[in-house]
Structure 1
Amino acid sequence: MVKIEPFAVEQWMDTYETAPGVLNIAETCAASLSIADLAALAVPTVVNGTTVIPPADPLSALATTRLTYGAIRGSSTLRSQVAALFDVGKDESVPALPADNVVIAQGAIAANYLLFYTLLGPGDHAICVYPTYQQLYDVPRSLGASVSLWTLKKEEQYVPNVAELNGLVQPNTKMIIINNPNNPTGAPIPRRVLEAIVRFARQRGIVILSDEVYLPLAHGGTFAPSPGEDESGVFAEAREQLPQAPPPPPPSILTLGYDRVVATGSMSKAFALAGLRLGWVASRDPAIIDAILAARDYTTISVSQLDDGIARYALSDAVRESLLRRNIELARRNIRHLTRFVGKWESKGRVRCAWVPPTAGTTAFVQFSTVGDDGTASPVNDVDFCLQVLKATQVMMVPGSRCFGHGKHFQGYVRIGYVNETAVLVEALSKLDRYLENNVA
């Protein structure tokens, strides 16, 4: 029997996210859309000089589809649309990714699992960034591989330190696993660092897996412009301490010209359609794709034709840009509310908040501490803190030490998902603020 560790963050979500009246700021998806919402984002497009009106909604276009198994790799249209996503930031010398190098799966979680199942086993070694989504290091361990954790540090803005790879690599290292942008910190990996990781891996023939489920959602965080919004007070002070331009969004690992790289993604996070359960795995190495397809024959065969069809609609020229714009604007608006909250509690009373402001993705990693009479700050017990806040206010967060640190690391940290409905975030932060005022400060 395969031994696998309990998936802490998913178990936490399963236990608490359906509580009546919960204000869920633990969620990692951009605020979810309905089919009607998605259709409202569609705009006419021009193809070869002809204006094309998109279908009224994706379901009407699927009404006559016979519900047989779908294409095993995913529909050719959807695979072409996904492949086109990897043109953003591509070096001129790097060819476009062929659609045949994309496989559609049941979410990025299935895509990641297929890759691990295909490429890792007993006797292999992998290096994985930490903290990150637990699947990325515990599934390889369950398959018999050993994993070295590549710890991201707050003082380095949670950007991987490439110099540390020399101390982590082993003769049997088969894979380097990154999560870009990172969950839970919201930190993207800059291009220069990605290039250094690629150089390191290329010299040794190591495969790189980049989980890129948050990649299209590069919003700039507190750097980003927000015309027409009041930037007085805490937020203005934060801007004064930071460069006045957002960092450039990182490119996909597939754009950097190394064949032995794999990227996974999904419709869940940046595209706000988690209910589709649709993701993908892509690689420039046909042998990797062929191996994944061989393994996939033993699992899910194909994705739902309905999910494939709605994803095609969402990634079409008529909808894709509007959809991403909606989610990026939501992230920019909401990060301001979270910045004001953290800024208030960075130096107030007995409570201290500390973070690295995220510039991409949907999550922030915030540490809560209390200050004693001697001025020493001690991290709160984040599990107890989250449970107490949930009971008193119905505000749900994720405890960092339990869900990302195996009870040993990231004491006092909580993950906050802030790209939900703005009204939900504002109410949750208001209740959390009052809780701190009344019970901690």
Structure 2
Amino acid sequence: MVVIKPFNVEQWMDTYETQCKYNIAETCCDSVSLTDLVSLAGNVETGAENPITSVLAKKRLDYGHIRGSPSLRTNIAKLYESSTLPVSQSQVLITPGAIAANFLVFYTLVHPCDHIICIHPTYQQLYTVPESLGAKVDLWKLKENDNWSADVTELQKLIKDNTKMIILNNPNNPTGATLPFSVLEGVKSLAEKNNITVLCDEVYAPVFHSSKAPPPPSFMSLGYKNTIVTGSLSKAYSLAGIRIGWIASHNEEIVEIIAAARDYNTISVSQLDDAVAAYALSPGVRENLVERNIKLCEANLEVLDAFVNKYAKSVGYVKPVSGTTAFVKFTRSDGEVVDDVRLCEMVMADAGVLFVPGGHCFGTYEGEFRGYVRIGYACGTAALKQGLEKVGEWIESGGIDKCS
């Protein structure tokens, strides 16, 4: 029998996100409407019929294309067109969000007695689901004391004869760090040498915003055949409500195996969602949407950074360089790290602000990431400012010293 551990971050969000006044735990870039999406095209005449509503109104509500429409899969393939191996729509599968994409990869490719290596900290699904399927999972830990960097030599030591898959998350949730090109190349080299499949969850790409270094490429661009990349419209593209994600791979045999398993849990995604997604990723719209969200993250990160600096005696972090999340550590005035669950409960009750407790939702043993909270700073700027102001008032009132 499959035993799946509680999914702490999703259960926390489900419990509190409808009760808070200021949600600065959400990880999606501030959502857009269909009207907003059309305006991003920049070439719609005043008074002209909305092209999205026009398309949706005429859609036949049948199953449509089982693997996703050709237009959507082609637009997704273009995201990786700079790769050394060409990508076509036949190498792309559409899923109900990236969470379904990741689950389908594990359900299809991971078996009991396999050995899996997963980067850490990261989204709990990426290591808990393989464990539930009977695999042994080892964590490749980012270096907390070195700006959440990754050491490829440590990854090499984790590899075993039965290592089936290396799981990456780039940009990283919750830290906002990135795996640079040199690290990705190191992972590729080890994977090729040992015939290991690499799954890279890239749901926060291409939101790279605060680093002087060039942004890292998609793992698809490295030319390794046994690469699987997952993505979605939720985080970087502000369209969580349409529930569109995807799987892309250079290895068409892997794509076909996953497609066969997909028949058991996804006949097709909504035709309406598919049409909106294809439009969002079309030339001229996608670029403007990404530019909008990078600017939003840049502006909001300045707000968060000012908060951290103002309360530096109690608050600290490694400033994110990508994505939409920051991993922020809180300490009391006596220097003791707070109980992160207690802090989040108190901030919610006293200030109406929603954070995610880092130790509870990302730690794998007692005390790991104690005192950390995940903040999602890509919400509306006004909401972020107001929420952080309320937390600041709570800190000033002595609230943080009550977190034992």
**TM-score range normalised by the length of the shorter chain:** over 0.9
CA contact (8 A) 1:206 1:260 kept: yes
Question: SS in structure 2 opposite 1:378?
Answer: coil
CA shift digits 1:157-193 (9 cap, x unpaired): 2122111022211111000001000000000110111
* Matches of 2:133 and 2:367, distance apart in 1: 24
How far is 1:356 from its partner? Answer: 0.9
* Matches of 1:70 and 1:211, distance apart in 2: 27
* Matches of 1:189 and 1:267, distance apart in 2: 21
Q: Which amino acid aligns with 2:27?
A: T
In the other structure, the counterpart of 2:33 is 34
Mapping of residues 275-290 of structure 1, within 5 Å: 275-290=241-256
Mapping of residues 336-351 of structure 1, within 5 Å: 336-347=302-313, 351=314
Query: Does the alignment pair 1:434 with 2:393?
Result: yes
How far is 1:54 from its partner? Answer: 9.6
Query: Does the alignment pair 1:183 with 2:141?
Result: no
Correspondence for 2:293 among 323, 327, 334: 327
Q: Which amino acid aligns with 2:132?
A: S
Query: Does the alignment pair 1:75 with 2:105?
Result: no
* Matches of 1:345 and 1:25, distance apart in 2: 18
Mapping of residues 27-426 of structure 1, within 5 Å: 27-44=26-43, 56-88=50-82, 90=83, 94-220=84-210, 246-347=212-313, 351=314, 353-372=315-334, 377-406=335-364, 407-426=366-385
CA contact (8 A) 1:44 1:54 kept: no
CA shift digits 1:399-418 (9 cap, x unpaired): 00100004431010000000
Q: Which amino acid aligns with 1:387?
A: E
Q: Which amino acid aligns with 1:397?
A: F
CA contact (8 A) 1:179 1:210 kept: yes
* Matches of 1:95 and 1:162, distance apart in 2: 24
Q: Which amino acid aligns with 2:36?
A: D
* Matches of 1:265 and 1:54, distance apart in 2: 32
Compare 247-256 and 418-427 and name the one that shifted more.
247-256
Question: SS in structure 1 opposite 2:214?
Answer: coil
Alignment RMSD, CA only?
1.6
How far is 1:82 from its partner? Answer: 0.3
* Matches of 1:160 and 1:167, distance apart in 2: 13
CA contact (8 A) 1:43 1:54 kept: no
Question: SS in structure 1 opposite 2:332?
Answer: strand
Runs of 4+ in 1 over 4 A off after TM superposition: none
* Matches of 2:22 and 2:88, distance apart in 1: 43
CA shift digits 1:338-392 (9 cap, x unpaired): 0011112223xxx2x22110011000000011242xxxx2210010001001100
In the other structure, the counterpart of 1:22 is 21
CA shift digits 1:394-440 (9 cap, x unpaired): 01000001000044310100000000000000000101111101114
* Matches of 1:344 and 1:65, distance apart in 2: 53
CA contact (8 A) 2:339 2:370 kept: yes
Q: Which amino acid aligns with 1:196?
A: G
* Matches of 2:356 and 2:173, distance apart in 1: 12
CA shift digits 1:76-116 (9 cap, x unpaired): 1111100111135x4xxx13211110001000000001110
Q: Which amino acid aligns with 1:355?
A: Y
Count of residue pairs brought into register by the alignment: 398
CA contact (8 A) 1:75 1:308 kept: yes
CA contact (8 A) 2:200 2:230 kept: yes
Q: Which amino acid aligns with 2:322?
A: A
Gaps spanning 5+ residues in structure 1: where? Answer: 46-50, 224-245
**C-alpha spacing 1:54/1:283, structure 2 compared with 1 (3 Å):** farther
* Matches of 1:77 and 1:58, distance apart in 2: 14
* Matches of 2:67 and 2:300, distance apart in 1: 37
Question: SS in structure 1 opposite 2:390?
Answer: helix
How far is 1:57 from its partner? Answer: 3.5
**C-alpha spacing 1:55/1:256, structure 2 compared with 1 (3 Å):** farther
**C-alpha spacing 1:299/1:54, structure 2 compared with 1 (3 Å):** farther
Question: SS in structure 1 opposite 2:58?
Answer: coil
* Matches of 2:350 and 2:266, distance apart in 1: 43
Q: Which amino acid aligns with 2:163?
A: T
